[in-house]
């Protein structure tokens, strides 16, 4: 296994030991709060105000680009991300409860623009997040699954052409 997979497995095991089996009402409230947070990460002020309401202090986040291991790192990452975008929206397409453990899977469609990617044109990416909540309904584990090459790296000048060429040869 690669380092990312090993780190995710360790984080998942740790989160499972702290996870809550939330009631249906509490799970809905936690999922709604998490979804609204994902939809609001285009705003630095929103991130500052809401991150502590959504993520546990010792939360784990891997968005396929970075692995973060506490709420402050997560906040700084989302703030930096919001500062690079000129537009952002995220739609929650579907939510499913895990049949093993206390996790949830949130399928989403993200649209964003950033001046340094795709000449500032809108990029659309689809993905899924695996989340596990603690007894307070805060996120302990947030693992994203999305094609970062198509959703981002193919749009980086110079590098993008190389990635597209490699994908055509596969």
**What are the tens digits of pLDDT across the range 103-132?**
999 999 999 888 877 677 888 889 999 999
pLDDT band at 155 (very low <50, low <70, confident <90, very high): very low
Q: How long, in residues, is the chain? A: 170
Contact between 18 and 26 (Cβ < 8 Å): no
The reply to whether the predicted model has a pTM over 0.85 is: no
Which pLDDT does position 106 carry in this prediction?
98
Lowest mean pLDDT among 89-98, 115-124, 159-168: 159-168
Report the C-alpha gap between 101 and 85 in whole angstroms: 35
Number of H helices, E strands in the chain: 6, 6
Which pLDDT does position 64 carry in this prediction?
83
Strand order, beta sheet including 87-97: 67-68, 55-62, 139-146, 123-133, 103-113, 87-97
Structural domains in the chain, CATH included, are 3-169 (3.10.450.50)
Which pLDDT does position 146 carry in this prediction?
80
Sign of CA dihedral 78, 82, 85, 91: positive
Q: What is the mean pLDDT of residues 80-96?
A: 94
Contact between 47 and 82 (Cβ < 8 Å): yes
């Amino acid at each position: 296994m690669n380092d990312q997979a090993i780190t995710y497995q360790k984080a998942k095991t740790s989160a499972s030991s702290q996870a809550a089996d939330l009631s249906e009402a509490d799970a809905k409230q936690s999922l709604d709060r998490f979804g609204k947070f994902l939809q609001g990460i285009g705003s630095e002020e929103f991130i500052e105000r809401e991150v502590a309401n959504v993520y546990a202090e010792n939360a784990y986040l891997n968005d396929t680009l970075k692995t973060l291991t506490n709420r402050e790192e997560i906040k700084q990452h989302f703030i930096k991300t919001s500062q690079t975008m000129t537009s952002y929206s995220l739609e929650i397409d579907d939510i499913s409860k895990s049949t093993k453990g206390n996790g949830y899977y949130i399928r989403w469609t993200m649209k964003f623009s950033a001046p340094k990617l795709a000449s500032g044109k809108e990029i659309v990416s689809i993905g899924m997040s695996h989340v596990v909540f603690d007894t307070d309904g805060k996120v302990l584990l947030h693992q994203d699954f999305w094609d970062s090459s198509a959703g981002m790296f193919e749009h980086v000048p110079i590098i993008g052409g190389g990635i597209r060429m490699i994908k055509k040869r596969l």
